[in-house]
Chains A and B, each alone.
Chain A
Amino acid sequence: MTASGFTTIRVGQSMPRARIAGLPGFDFHRTITNAVRGGQAIVAFFGHVSSTHGSVELYAVTSDTQHGVLRIGKTTLDSDQFPSITPDCPQVHLFEREIAEQFGVRPTGHPWFKPVRFHSSYRPGHDAWNRKPGETPVVGVTDYYRVEGDEIHEVAVGPVHAGVIEPGHFRFQCHGEQVFHLEISLGYQHRGAERTLVGGPDKRTLHTLETVAGDTSIGHATAYCQAVEALAGCQVPLRADVLRGIALELERLANHAGDLGALAGDVGYLPTASYCGRLRGDFLNLTALLCGSRFGRGMLRPGGVRFDLDEARKQECLSRLESAYRDVENAADLLWNSASVQARFEGAGAVDADAALALGLVGPAARACGIEHDIRQDFPSGIYRFAQVPVSTWTTGDVFARAYVRWLEMQRSVAFIREQLQGFPDGPTHAECGALKPEQIVVSLVEGWRGEICHVAITDSQGRFARYKIVDPSFHNWTGLAISLRDQQISDFPLCNKSFNLSYCGHDL
């Protein structure tokens, strides 16, 4: 236990739950706010109904990148409310709303207290908005922040949007072309993923986690497998770690290539939009070369991976990677050298570094503001313990920065894959992964292509999941998109949206 009362835990370290001491509410609150003031970040903050006493427990996990450890603390609520931590620490705002919605406890004094996914409380009879029993919330129906005035108009977009894209609701307060405020209300993709994981692992668990965010199957599968392997005390062979790293970077490459193309399309620059549209498919086909699925389904399993690369396949992967990379470089260079594209990208949707830190943004969106956080560097696991990928940052926090960071990351991912393919270790690709230890807790972190993926697993006395918390990077970042639209022209909304390219289903679960 540290002086603050939070327990130190390493990423991917399974620890007995009992080692996490329960703190009184005030100490819990103060530790969190002090941690964030001292430069730590909130990795996860969630609720759990204790099977022993039936009360709601709150767990908080903070990341201390300076010391390379996580700190985890817990408090038990003695009533259906608790003082909101958000006014002192904005990073927890959406986590507190989620806890309220799931467990029917109210964070009093929360400045933006609204539903997150619009579903009924998991504790019947306890509803944080005092809805009557049997009254199900209607998605999108809430109090939207409004600006009043003769010349103000409100623009509502979604859930069904113009393109082939997931559903969400966006409410703009506008004065002419200028956006004063954007509010984002999601929950349309809520499928109940977290709830189905309780009692697992079972034959559906891995498939649920691969489809939490379907374009991040490798990212979430890696986080899951690492959690299970820690709980089972299973050591993954190095060859499997290399293959997992290659798959994760290929996923990053495919999505970044697609994003550069989509950004080009949104400013009407069709050459790069066209080339990158094709090139994204080329990277997806490399993943399919590895495991048969363009999205990496079935690549990972607890204990290792399911597919291997023999010498011939390795050479083919290398040569196709090089060819795709040269073409992407050609397509991306057109963007950076086109004055019309830069005029649209630069200065649009800027988020300043202080706001990014205060909100707890992650991934390329944070790194575009100069924040040097990357799980592969800060909390490396798997192959990243042995092969470092330089962290890609820019400073301006605008659409250009978020695009350019993607391009920098693509270059580094290609270099990483090249290096791994050229120095492949021998050995098996899978180790037997046995039963999970009972009464344990583990935190697993992966740098998915959108940013920090966090899975927290708690096992019960039978070694089954009592709680499985998923935090997709989008859960941290949607607020960043809303902030980036302030004082922007509304016609730049698609551009800003694509520059973040967040997951609706990853947020909604």
Chain B
Amino acid sequence: MLNLSLARLRQGHRTIAYPAQVPTLPDRFRGLPIVDSSKCPESCRACADACPTNAITIDAKGMRVDLGRCLFCTDCSDACPEEAIHYSQEYRLSTRSRDDLILDGQTIKRAQALEEKSRRLFGRSLKLRQVSAGGCNACEADLNVLGTVVFDMGRFGIQFVASPRHADGIVVTGAVSENMRTALLETYAAVPAPKLVIAVGACAISGGPFIDNPEVHNGCGSLVPVDLFIPGCPPHPLTILDGLLRLLGRLDGPSAAASDTGT
């Protein structure tokens, strides 16, 4: 017992002060990609051609980056001859619609909170059923970590539950393999209404690294109605937490800011 108490003292209090304080991320963290198109050479397509999931489109309308396809890898910045594209420390990336993930500038229209009725139902108690559907397990790992003491999402009333019958919604990860299609649909059907769907990670939004493989459905958007999109490969736990708190209207303090130039 004494050992236990000493250990408890030693291990200390580790929960981060977020959202009251802006969190620190690793300095090499790859958040929102920023493009300075003034540096782009005439008709250069290096980044678009290098992108493994074709997340970058360059056409007559200009250049667009689809965060839902983006793997946040270094291929575009490695390929750019003019250092016109780089990653910022911006970790707040969640949106309510698929279209809001397609950026033509630095502005990202972040997720608005649910309407008032849903906020009253879910705002202080959100029980979620996780459905792992043809991914790589990294998103699942960083979802799990939200329950550990550093992030402690339990303090916001958010919790993963064992059964869809106990849940307010599902959190989908993975590109949705054909072999998980039925399980995903049945799990969603088993959640009592009103219910939410949260898509976490590039796979769940667009297929991610497995995009267009015949074995997958390019994410869950064609199968269930998604209320919140959280991009990343995998999204940093803070990106996920920011998305969830935004949805619930629980985010205030210095980390809020609905949309800005993402520096």
A residues near B (Cβ < 8 Å) are: 117-119, 139, 159-160, 162-167, 187-193, 195-196, 203-204, 207-208, 210-215, 217, 258, 271, 274-275, 277-278, 280-281, 285, 288-295, 297-298, 306-307, 327, 330-331, 333-334, 337, 503-505, 508
Contacts and interface: CB of A to CB of B under 8 A. Distances in A.
Given A163-B160, A214-B137, A207 B209 contact: yes
7 contacts: A187-B179, A188-B179, A191-B213, A192-B213, A211-B136, A274-B11, A333-B3
B242 to A, nearest CB: 16
A316 to B, nearest CB: 10
Contact of A214 (B129, B138, B160): B138
Contacts of B133: 167, 188
Given A297-B73, A504-B137, A189 B180 contact: yes
A219 B215 CA distance: 24
Interface string B117-136: 00000000000011111111
Contact of A215 (B14, B141, B150, B175): B141
B143 interface: yes
B14 A167 contact: no
Interface string B144-172: 11011110000000001011100000000
A119 to B, nearest CB: 7
B183 A277 contact: no
Contacts of B163: 162
Contact of B162 (A162, A274, A275): A162
Nearest to B162: A162
Contacts of A280: 145, 148
Contacts of B187: 160
Contacts, number: 184
- Give the 7 A-B residue pairs with the shortest CB-CB distance, closest first: A214-B136, A214-B138, A292-B28, A277-B148, A192-B215, A162-B162, A211-B136
Given A204-B53, A281-B148, 16 more contacts: A117-B179, A164-B143, A188-B177, A190-B178, A191-B177, A193-B210, A195-B213, A207-B73, A212-B136, A214-B234, A215-B136, A277-B148, A294-B234, A295-B141, A333-B3, A504-B137
A162 B141 CA distance: 15
Given A166-B132, A203-B51, A331-B11, A213 B137 contact: yes
B7 A331 contact: yes
Nearest to B207: A191
Interface residues of B, number: 67
Contacts of A297: 71-73, 233
Contacts of B10: 327, 330
Given A166-B132, A167-B180, A271-B8, A294 B142 contact: yes
Contacts of A211: 135-136, 138, 208-210, 233
A188 B14 contact: no
B138 A203 contact: no
Q: Which of B26, B30, B178 has the most CB of A within 10 A?
A: B26
Nearest to B147: A277
Contact of A281 (B135, B137, B150, B183): B150
